[in-house]
Amino acid sequence: MASAREGDGMWERYSRQVILPQIGSDGQEKLSESRVVIIGCGALGSVVANTLARAGVGRIVIIDRDFVELNNLQRQVLFTETDVGRPKAIAACEQLERINSAIEVEPVVKDVNQTNIESMIQGADLVLDGTDNFHTRLVMNDACVKHGIPWIYAAAIGTSGLVMPILPDGPCLRCLFPNPPPAGTLPTCDTAGVLSTAPLIVAGWESTEAIKLLLGKPGEPRLVTIDVWDRTLSTLEVEKAAGCVCCGKRKFEFLSAEKEEIISTLCGRNAVQITPATPGQISLSRLAAVLAPLGDVEQNEYILVFRTQGYEISVFGDGRAIIKGTDDPKLARSLYARYIGV
């Protein structure tokens, strides 16, 4: 990968950024040598990935478990209609390569959980939140605090959103939210909707905080709340909580779960995700041939979609599956066992 100082083309690409006193040529060099991991490539993650790629961040890893759906296109800026049905991480990285061929991008089509997150963030200078659920954020918080990696918490829903940098010396997410909210108590994009400009503004703020941290600027433990419809912005100074389980006592509860099959209901989608205890590569073409007599099958190199009896089962190459048409984990597990295997 070429240095930010090398070649007139490279200099021209970032010229409007390099002349900023906050960045300069030395700062651009730092960005080109940085590695970020973006977990989740939906409304927030796609904007952050787009922004940082254009800014010249040298290595970007995008991790996402899902595939592009038509309703994503209203707000997820890296995708087009031709991407519908493809894994988000793959489609996003292909688009980023077209945007900036001078950087390295790596797609990872996996569900981030306690069994794999520590290896996924290894070597990262910064981890960025593009997720759609609070449990994954708590797993991220545990892993980043444990390994001393800064990360940025971000969320957007309706017309508003939140952003907070979380630094290795605290405070951490559990200082702000000591106990995870009960399932079903938080709104989702599917239940509350989202104005397309809200994640753009929130992700823009998150991207700015990311650039500042990558440049070595000191972060501030402030929770920023933005409402684009009401035109309001507020900040809350967050202090390190005395006796915080995570950054204080260093008990990483969300990393300590047993490495077993993970079954999770996807809020607001009438769907259940099943992640095998021991993921392994499966032949999607062979599975397609087996399932073809039993229902409708669509398959490409990344994903197989099988429809039968009112259910839609999307199977990924590592054996992970999303079963649409039910929010009952037991029924989803039964369908998985029936059509994919134990």
Q: Residue 189 catalytic?
A: yes
Distance (Å, whole) CA 37 – CA 112: 12
CA pseudo-torsion sign 142, 146, 147, 153: positive
> Which of 172, 189, 244, 267 is the catalytic position?
189
Task: State how far the Cα of 293 lies from the Cα of 318, in Å rounded to an integer.
Answer: 23
- Compute the C-alpha angle 294/67/254, nearest 5°: 105
The span from the CA of 33 to the CA of 52, in Å, is 13
List 62's β-bridge partners, or say none: 38, 107
Question: How far separated are the first and last CA of the chain, in Å rounded?
Answer: 44
Beta strands in 249-336 (DSSP E): 262-266, 271-275, 296-299, 303-308, 311-316, 321-324
Residue 289 CB coordination number (10 Å): 12
Residues marked active site are found at 189
